[in-house]
Amino acid sequence: MPQVRVRFAPSPTGFFHIGSARTALFNWLYARHNGGVFILRVEDTDQTRNSDEFLRLIYDSLRWLGLDWDEGPGKGGDFGPYRQSERASVYKEYLERLKASGRTYEKDGALYFRISGEPQVIEDAIRGRVERTEEKDFVIVRSDGNPVFHFVNVVDDIAMKVTHVIRGEDHLSNTSKHTELFKAFGAPLPTYAHIPLILKQNGPGKMSKRDQGALVEEYQKRGFLPEALVNFLCLLGWSPKDDREKLPLAEIVRLFDLPGVNQSNARFDEKKLAHMNMVYLHEMDPGKCFSFARDYLKSRNYFAGAEPEEAYLREVIALCQPKVRAVEDLPGFIGYFFSDEYAIDPKAREKVFSKGDPKARLGELLAALPQADFSSDTTLEALIQGLAAQHAAGTGDYIHPARLALSGTAVGPSFYGLLRVLGRERVERRIARFLATA
């Protein structure tokens, strides 16, 4: 079998959305699974609708998702250039060939392709046999001199020796035009694989760029983990045929194949994506999580120039990593680690003061702090247990008031971890202040 060559062929005419990302991913997976070549080809012939900003977004999003291309802009390759706007001479040459074969004619300033009118049959790798007959000749060069999508798309697939065309089902209806052109050039047909649509979360219809949760850039900005988004995108139309949902990318590459792609449409489910993201976050290596979270917080200007010490931030992130659902929850979750100016939640306060003698317990804890061993969660747990035994109280009688005094809230990371990470000085200062003011 000749080497697999697939291409992702986006047009930089809009934001990079989930559907495009999935098409890119399925092409990338197919190339990696087969030891093939993944080409990025920019279909930017529509000068009125292209923008450099959208193009940059395509590059950024692909890089962020880890979908590295083997040939394409910035990478080179034997079949470049890889932007259609730079390939005018190639189109001219192919156009001459088509003209010479007598399959073109001019009408009203436009150049038409004369169809064969024969039934066009493809064996789609996902949908099976699809037959369609073109009934009308179609324009290949507009009256303004610009070649149309069908023409440049096919010419490039021929010139770039593309073996498999994996694209959205919305292009299925174009395929008979494309196969007519391939045959007119005497070129072998590629294998087609049309991926089913992504349906919007609620209600009927295809997900569009305007739908909530449709833009890849949003997830990047919100601190989603690209690995989680990639895993989620794989499952939009493909599955490993067992019940697994979270799969390492290497495993997906090993298992991915086109016949495994469903024929039915996939429904976008933002909750499922959020859950996948959480699972990835909780399982992430703490060192990686630290860098990722720090970059996220920096991108939000969270510390406003007053950055905490790295070792402290590292401990805070490690402590909170298992407790937040997403990196975007961190800012609201970690504030009190960096400032003494946190508000005391009135509901939590009411609850703490509704029973027992929280001030007495905090007084006992404060008195024990100078001798306390802050080196581990276990030693701190022993401290609280010792106090509880000594004063015939429960550990909760210390934990709840202390958490309130130290953070202003009733929710947060593990209590002993909280003591350890805040450290003796902060803990002493905050409890003393709370006792003086509460």
Name residue, tokens 């003011």: 437
Sequence-ordered list of residues with C-beta below 8 angstroms from that of 188, at least 6 positions apart, any chain:
182
In whole angstroms, how close is the CB of 255 to ligand GLU at the nearest point?
A: 24
In whole angstroms, how close is the CB of 212 to ligand GLU at the nearest point?
A: 22
Nearer to ligand GLU, 9 or 207 (CB): 9
Residue 155, CB-side half-sphere exposure with 13 Å CA sphere: 24
Is residue 10 at the binding interface for ligand GLU, with CB under 6 A as the rule? yes
* Residue 209 falls in the annotated catalytic set: yes
> Closest Cα partner for 123 from 157, 165, 182?
165
Tokens of 238: 């493909």
Instruction: Using CB under 6 A, pick the residue from 4, 17, 30, 43 that binds ligand GLU.
Output: 43
Sequence-ordered list of residues with C-beta below 8 angstroms from that of 418, at least 6 positions apart, any chain:
319, 403, 406, 407, 412
Q: How many whole angstroms separate alpha carbon 110 and alpha carbon 105?
A: 8
Q: With contact defined as beta carbons under 8 Å apart, do 170 and 145 qualify?
A: no
Determine the interface stretch with ligand GLU among 7-15, 114-122, 131-139, 337-345 (rule: CB under 6 A). Answer: 7-15
- Distances from the Cα of 42 to the Cα of 80, 272, 306, 354, 375, angstroms: 11, 31, 42, 66, 57
What is 64-131 written as a DSSP string? HHT---SBBTTTB-TT---BGGG-HHHHHHHHHHHHHTT-EEEETTEEEE----PPEEEEETTTEEEE
Determine the interface stretch with ligand GLU among 9-17, 67-75, 247-255, 379-387 (rule: CB under 6 A). Answer: 9-17
Nearer to ligand GLU, 9 or 148 (CB): 9
Is residue 72 at the binding interface for ligand GLU, with CB under 6 A as the rule? no
Is residue 167 at the binding interface for ligand GLU, with CB under 6 A as the rule? yes
Instruction: Give phi and psi for 383, each to the nearest 5.
Output: -60, -50
Nearer to ligand GLU, 104 or 175 (CB): 175
Instruction: Using CB under 6 A, pick the residue from 11, 45, 50, 163 that binds ligand GLU.
Output: 11
Determine the interface stretch with ligand GLU among 5-13, 32-40, 237-245, 288-296 (rule: CB under 6 A). Answer: 5-13
How many residues bind ligand GLU (CB under 6 A)? The answer is 8
Nearer to ligand GLU, 156 or 227 (CB): 156
Q: Which amino acid is at 375?
A: S
Is residue 171 at the binding interface for ligand GLU, with CB under 6 A as the rule? yes
In whole angstroms, how close is the CB of 238 to ligand GLU at the nearest point?
A: 18
Q: Which amino acid is at 429?
A: R
Nearer to ligand GLU, 176 or 231 (CB): 176
> Closest Cα partner for 396 from 426, 356, 425?
356
The single residue of 209, 221, 288, 351 carrying the catalytic annotation is 209
Is residue 9 at the binding interface for ligand GLU, with CB under 6 A as the rule? yes
Is residue 84 at the binding interface for ligand GLU, with CB under 6 A as the rule? no
Nearer to ligand GLU, 80 or 308 (CB): 80
Is residue 177 at the binding interface for ligand GLU, with CB under 6 A as the rule? no
Determine the interface stretch with ligand GLU among 93-101, 164-172, 262-270, 370-378 (rule: CB under 6 A). Answer: 164-172
Q: With contact defined as beta carbons under 8 Å apart, do 247 and 240 qualify?
A: yes
> Binding pattern to ligand GLU, positions 144-163, x when CB under 6 A?
---------x----------
Q: How many whole angstroms separate alpha carbon 170 and alpha carbon 374?
A: 62
Nearer to ligand GLU, 11 or 321 (CB): 11
Q: How many whole angstroms separate alpha carbon 22 and alpha carbon 102?
A: 40
Active site members: 209
- Contact residues: ligand GLU, CB under 6 A: 9-11, 43, 153, 165, 167, 171
